């Protein structure tokens, strides 16, 4: 196990924030992960587990051991009449897994193409896009208890999935490290093209027959047109969750703002956070080295040498202005560290 000291984390977070880790190690197996956790316990420090770094905002140096999860592997473990069960290492790049699934004819995650991050983070966030969420294709996961160093398997019910939520963000936060995930993928694809601009993009591309790849290509095209590439400009994708408000609140807002979009669900009406932020005048605003993206107001960006605290302060100002104008609380998807 090669534990390094005073390592810059700039290359390990998609915001490109230049903060340092007091100690840093990459682990490629469960045994290496156990070793790293034991080392941290011996040093009496609480380690930080890092996946793809696409859902964090570094606001300070990390005076601890940062453990980078790089456990690999994409393996078909069971085949049934309707489904493939595929176990994937937590360190596998999410989009690479999507591409592998498409190449093998495993259906169900094509709408989740080009989402940054690793497979291990996907159930923590219950990532989703264009009408599909992880919970729709999730079967189980294996996670290591950080204290006992024993592996436990979690089924979907035990994960308590919600909108960008799971038990690992609440009751079990910092208690387990996800090592692998088993997905239940379809042999006969069930295409979801009714969300966003997928149908229009397919038509514009002249697609005659729906395939996993055609839908994936359409999603990639849409995402690339809306979201900046983290390799070119620092960002974490959608910074805020879309809020759901009571139906009565939505009706009152519509009487004042006729164009406000809303999507009814079981809890009320979901309102696009991007629309709220744009209406408050934030779209395209730049403040030195940070700002709000010119094409997608849901994305906060680091133009080069921005600081995490500056982005945090900007996020708070956006939240305040949305609440003052609409009486709606919007909450970050991103974890502040």
Catalytic positions: 164, 238, 333
Handedness of CA 225, 229, 233, 238 (dihedral sign): positive
Two tokens, residue 187: 């042999």
Two tokens, residue 265: 């669900």
* Residues composing the chain: 337
Please tell me the distance from the alpha carbon of residue 245 to that of residue 290, in angstroms, as a whole number.
Answer: 30
How is 37-79 classified by DSSP, letter by letter?
HHHHHHHT---EEESSSSSEE--S-EEEEEEEE----EEEEEE
CA angle 323, 328, 333 (to 5 degrees): 100
Please tell me the distance from the alpha carbon of residue 216 to that of residue 95, in angstroms, as a whole number.
Answer: 10
């Amino acid at each position: 196990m090669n534990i390094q000291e005073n390592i810059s984390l700039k290359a390990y977070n998609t915001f490109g924030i230049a903060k340092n880790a007091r100690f840093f190690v990459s682990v490629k197996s469960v045994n290496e992960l156990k070793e790293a956790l034991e080392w941290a316990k011996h040093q009496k420090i609480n380690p930080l587990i890092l996946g793809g770094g696409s859902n964090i905002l570094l606001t300070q140096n990390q005076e601890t051991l940062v453990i980078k999860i790089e456990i690999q592997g994409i393996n078909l473990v069971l085949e049934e009449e309707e489904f493939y069960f595929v176990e994937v290492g937590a360190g596998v790049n999410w989009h690479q897994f999507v591409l592998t699934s498409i190449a093998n004819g495993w259906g169900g995650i094509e709408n989740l193409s080009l989402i940054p991050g690793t497979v291990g983070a996907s159930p923590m966030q219950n990532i989703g896009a264009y009408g599909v969420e992880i919970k729709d294709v999730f079967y189980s996961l294996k996670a290591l208890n950080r204290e006992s160093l024993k592996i436990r398997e979690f089924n979907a019910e035990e994960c308590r999935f919600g909108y960008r939520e799971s038990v690992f963000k609440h009751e079990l936060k910092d208690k387990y490290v996800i090592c692998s995930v088993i997905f239940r993928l379809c042999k006969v694809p069930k295409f979801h093209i009714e969300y966003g601009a997928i149908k229009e993009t397919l038509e514009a591309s002249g697609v005659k027959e729906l395939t996993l790849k055609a839908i994936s290509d359409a999603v990639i095209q849409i995402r690339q047109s809306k979201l900046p590439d983290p390799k070119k400009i620092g960002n974490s994708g959608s910074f805020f969750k879309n809020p759901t408000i009571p139906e009565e609140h939505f009706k009152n807002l519509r009487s004042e703002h006729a164009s406000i979009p809303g999507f009814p669900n079981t809890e009320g009406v979901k309102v696009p956070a991007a629309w709220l932020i744009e209406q408050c005048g934030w779209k395209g605003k730049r403040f030195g080295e940070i700002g709000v993206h010119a094409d997608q107001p849901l994305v906060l960006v680091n133009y080069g040498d921005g600081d995490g605290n500056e982005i945090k302060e900007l996020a708070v100002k956006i939240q305040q202005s949305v609440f003052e104008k609409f009486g709606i609380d919007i909450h970050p998807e991103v974890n502040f560290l």
